[in-house]
Amino acid sequence: MRCLSESEYKLGSRFLFLSMAIVVLQQDIRIVEEGKHKIKAHLLHTLQSMEKRALEERQQLRIQLRQHNLQVVTAEKNDAFTTFLFITKECEEKRNYFNPAIRKKVEAILMELTQKAPQSDPRHTSTNA
């Protein structure tokens, strides 16, 4: 039997997958900073803008989680599935996720953040060649 409300589930899962997307962004930022990309400045600006927006949203989600007395923790993980435990004052509920489905959810959040990222102003690009 389910003990989480739909809104609690949505809140917890958004926090969970957004946190995973932030890890991906931070890894990508590190790769771009260390790399020899020709469009490094633009790419770095976009990734950092996405990260900033994601961190701000996660902070708001964290506040809402506290207000709802909701925690989300990883319970188990294997090659195919990851189990997360949603903990409220009243109950604990386990949710199993197929790992490729997790990847798809994180990719969707990254695409959403990409669309919201401000585009670089062409007037501020370097003309040094």
Top pLDDT among 124 and 90 is at 90
Query: Which range scores top for mean pLDDT: 12-16, 32-36, 44-48, 122-126?
Result: 12-16
For 17, 49, 52, 67, 112, the CA distances from 56, given in Å and listed in that order, are 14, 11, 6, 17, 14
73 - beta bridge partners?
A: 85
Q: What is the pTM of this model?
A: 0.86
For 31, 38, 54, 63, 100, the CA distances from 35, given in Å and listed in that order, are 6, 9, 23, 36, 28
The 10s digit of each residue's pLDDT in 65-110 is 999 999 999 999 999 999 999 999 889 999 999 999 999 999 999 9
Name the pLDDT band for 121 (thresholds 50, 70, 90): low
For the record, the structure tokens of 59 come out as: 């902070």
CA torsion sign for 34, 99, 106, 12 is negative
